[in-house]
Amino acid sequence: MKKFMSFVITIVVLVCTFWLSVGSSAAAGTITYTGARYVWGKGIAFVFEASGYKNKDLKNASLTIGSKSFDLHCRLNKEKDKIVCVAGGGLTQYAGKTGILSVAGHAFYVTIPSKPALPLGNGSLSCPEGTEPGADVQFTLEGEGTWTNFIGGSTLSEVRQNAENTEVVKAGGSIDSIGDLYCRDLSQ
């Protein structure tokens, strides 16, 4: 009789555990994959429209390409009902290949985008929606030290012009260097 009761209790615990886990995943919400693109300075961004999720639901997101698995860093933007998962830019070596992206308990087939050509010299950079063109500019101000800020502009000359109009330079600071143009994600 003891064995039978232990068996019944075990079954009840398993059923309750399964029921609770199914209930919480069903209550999580909706998620739809909308596309992927390479973002300069960040890597590959996979974008989802989603509602009913929290950042804790996005932990353990991963991308599998063939037999290799890669961790993703995902963030939720509740105002825009979007989830953006970022993978390292080195994954562009798999451009055109299909991968399986797992996020918030859902799996999606995705195509790995290629890295777009970055314009040379003063070429103009056009960025996808949700991003802004510009470059990292290193400033120095005596007594304050050295730091780097993102300065917007679609060309290096526009970035330089915008940097020269900052309060730092007007206060006697100097521009030490201007990095390469890239598209900065506006959601971060």
Supply the CATH number for residue 82's domain.
2.60.40.1220
Q: Which tokens sit at 144?
A: 């304050």
* Domain assignment of residue 150, given as a range: 131-185
In whole angstroms, give the CA distance from residue 86 to residue 73.
5
Contact 106, 31 (CB under 8 A): yes
Q: Is residue 41 part of a domain?
A: yes
Q: Give the model's pLDDT for residue 46.
A: 92
Question: For 185, how many CA atoms within 13 A lie in the half-sphere containing its CB?
Answer: 20
**Which letter does DSSP use for residue 81 in this model?**
T
For residues 16 and 105, the model is more confident at: 105
Does 4 have pLDDT greater than 80? Answer: no
Q: Is residue 73 part of a domain?
A: yes
Instruction: Give the chain's domain count.
Output: 2
Q: 12-53 pLDDT, tens per residue? A: 444 445 444 444 444 468 899 998 888 766 788 899 999 888
Domain boundary among 56, 80, 111: 111
Mean of the pLDDT values across residues 63-70? Answer: 92
Are 84 and 136 part of one and the same domain? Answer: no
DSSP E strand stretches across 24-144: 30-39, 43-51, 62-65, 68-71, 73-77, 82-87, 98-103, 106-111, 131-141
